[in-house]
């Protein structure tokens, strides 16, 4: 795997080098007067190329500022190149998700790499598979449909939209009579004011609490329901999920369940949020410690922090 990853990065590096060779402008002195270049002028320049002075020297970089600008432009071009690539096509060439994640991280940045990786992993979720099936049926029925048109399953299911305004008894009755997906439950966990007993009742309706979450806006790079609960301070929910033998996230690149729990604990401590929130978050960390749940802050602190900030979760807590 390491050899294939190296081959992929080497191949893409060569492509970038070729692109830079042909696209990077050759430094030269600016003309004293602005000139208008038309097709004939370009043609004459090409035809007369053999008569040009081939010994003319290029303008060299002579200052720190020029060097800094060159590095910044090179970084920007590399980042743009990384974002313009259809990285998924390399899967068909036999490269693994790990290989391509490393390449994206190298040419672009860790946030983009994490986003791509999560999207690839979540393509196997029930939510994404259902959406893919809906799109396939729609395209078969309407072959001229524009490529930008997308159809997706609604989350949450409409019946849950006003659940936060109900009494506890009414909310429990609604949960009992509503068909729920794991993505509906993930949405419920992120909502303020919903008692944990309502959340626990919704979890007990699920057939598999360890199934992958879909690519919904409220879940971002979180892979499992327990990741959402651990980040949102739902200690009793975490306990219920563990009671049902929920898996915990331990991806080689994305944030783990313990990382989400510790990140939120750091946030509530730093912001001086109410004592109960700190206690709940500490309870979650202790539960995960009992399972030897891993965290990789020693090697991925910047990645995890930046991804949480990108989600808008650290600032808003949603």
Residues 181 and 75 in one domain: no
Residues 158 and 97 in one domain: no
53 inside domain: no
CA distance 239 to 242: 5
Tokens linked to 54 = 């081939």
pLDDT at 123 over 90: yes
- CA 224 to chain centroid, in Å, comes to 14
pLDDT at 120 over 60: yes
Please tell me the predicted confidence (pLDDT) of residue 297: 63
Mean pLDDT of 287-315: 60
59 inside domain: no
Backbone angles phi, psi at 91, to 5 degrees: -65, -35
32 inside domain: no
pLDDT at 39 over 60: no
Please tell me the predicted confidence (pLDDT) of residue 1: 57
Helix, strand, coil percentages (3-state) for the chain, rounded to 5, are 60, 0, 40
Please tell me the predicted confidence (pLDDT) of residue 68: 76
Domain that holds residue 1: 1-18+64-79+88-108
* pLDDT greater at residue 255 or residue 308: 255
**Total H helices, total E strands in the chain:** 16, 0
Q: Please report how the helices 2-23 and 97-107 are oriented relative to each other, as an axis angle in degrees rounded to 10.
A: 40
7 inside domain: yes
Residues 183 and 299 in one domain: yes
Number of domains in the chain: 2
* pLDDT greater at residue 25 or residue 294: 294
Q: pLDDT tens digits for 128-156? A: 999 999 999 988 998 888 888 888 889 99
Please tell me the predicted confidence (pLDDT) of residue 146: 87
Residues 103 and 218 in one domain: no
Please tell me the predicted confidence (pLDDT) of residue 284: 98
CA distance 216 to 207: 20
Residues 274 and 175 in one domain: yes
Residues 74 and 141 in one domain: no
Please tell me the predicted confidence (pLDDT) of residue 236: 98
CA distance 241 to 210: 9
Mean pLDDT of 189-212: 96
* pLDDT greater at residue 306 or residue 185: 185
Instruction: Provide the whole-model pTM.
Output: 0.71
CA distances, 32 to each of 29, 38, 49, 63, 318 (Å): 9, 19, 22, 23, 57
Give the end-to-end CA distance of the chain in Å, rounded to a whole number. 37
47 inside domain: no
Q: What percent of the chain has pLDDT over 90?
A: 50
179 inside domain: yes
Mean pLDDT of 245-268: 93
Q: Is 99 helix (H, G, I), strand (E, B) or coil?
A: helix
* pLDDT greater at residue 83 or residue 43: 83
Mean pLDDT of 236-258: 95
Q: Report which listed range, 10-14, 29-33, 84-88, 204-208, is most confident.
A: 204-208
Residue 19 binned pLDDT confidence (cut-offs 50, 70, 90): very low
Residues 94 and 172 in one domain: no
* pLDDT greater at residue 27 or residue 155: 155
55 inside domain: no
Nearby residues of 65 by Cβ (< 8 Å), 6 or more positions away = none
Residue 11 binned pLDDT confidence (cut-offs 50, 70, 90): low
Residue 71 binned pLDDT confidence (cut-offs 50, 70, 90): confident
Residues 200 and 296 in one domain: yes
Over its C-alpha atoms, the chain yields an Rg (Å, rounded) of 26
Name the DSSP class of 293. Answer: -
276 inside domain: yes
Please tell me the predicted confidence (pLDDT) of residue 303: 45
Q: What's the CATH code of the domain at 308?
A: 1.25.40.20
Residues 72 and 179 in one domain: no
Residues 101 and 204 in one domain: no
Mean pLDDT of 241-258: 94
* pLDDT greater at residue 287 or residue 312: 287
Residues 98 and 139 in one domain: no
Residues 193 and 308 in one domain: yes
């Amino acid at each position: 795997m390491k050899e294939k990853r190296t081959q992929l990065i080497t191949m893409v590096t060569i492509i970038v080098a070729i692109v830079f060779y042909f696209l990077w402008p050759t430094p030269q002195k600016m003309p004293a007067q602005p000139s208008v270049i038309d097709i004939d002028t370009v043609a004459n320049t090409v035809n007369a190329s053999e008569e040009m002075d081939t010994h003319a020297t290029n303008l060299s970089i002579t200052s720190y500022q020029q060097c800094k600008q060159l590095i910044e432009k090179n970084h920007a071009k590399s980042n743009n190149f990384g974002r313009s690539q259809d990285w998924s096509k390399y899967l068909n060439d036999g490269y693994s998700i790990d290989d391509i994640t490393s390449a994206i991280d190298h040419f672009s940045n860790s946030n983009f790499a994490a986003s791509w990786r999560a999207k690839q992993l979540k393509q196997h979720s029930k939510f994404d598979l259902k959406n893919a099936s809906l799109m396939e049926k729609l395209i078969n029925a309407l072959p001229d449909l524009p490529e930008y048109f997308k159809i997706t399953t609604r989350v949450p299911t409409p019946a849950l939209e006003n659940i936060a305004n109900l009494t506890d008894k009414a909310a429990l009755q609604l949960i009992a009579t509503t068909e729920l997906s794991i993505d509906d439950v993930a949405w419920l966990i992120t909502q303020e004011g919903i008692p944990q007993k309502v959340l626990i009742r919704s979890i007990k309706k699920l057939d598999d609490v360890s199934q992958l979450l879909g690519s919904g806006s409220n879940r971002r790079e979180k892979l499992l329901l327990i990741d959402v609960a651990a980040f949102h301070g739902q200690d009793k929910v975490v306990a219920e999920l563990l009671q049902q033998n929920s898996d915990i996230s331990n991806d080689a690149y994305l944030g783990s369940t313990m990382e989400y729990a510790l990140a939120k604990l750091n946030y509530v401590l730093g912001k001086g949020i109410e004592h109960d929130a700190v206690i709940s978050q500490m309870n979650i960390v202790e539960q995960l410690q009992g399972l030897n749940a891993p965290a990789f802050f020693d090697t991925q602190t910047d990645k995890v922090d930046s991804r949480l900030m990108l989600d808008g979760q650290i600032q808003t807590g949603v």
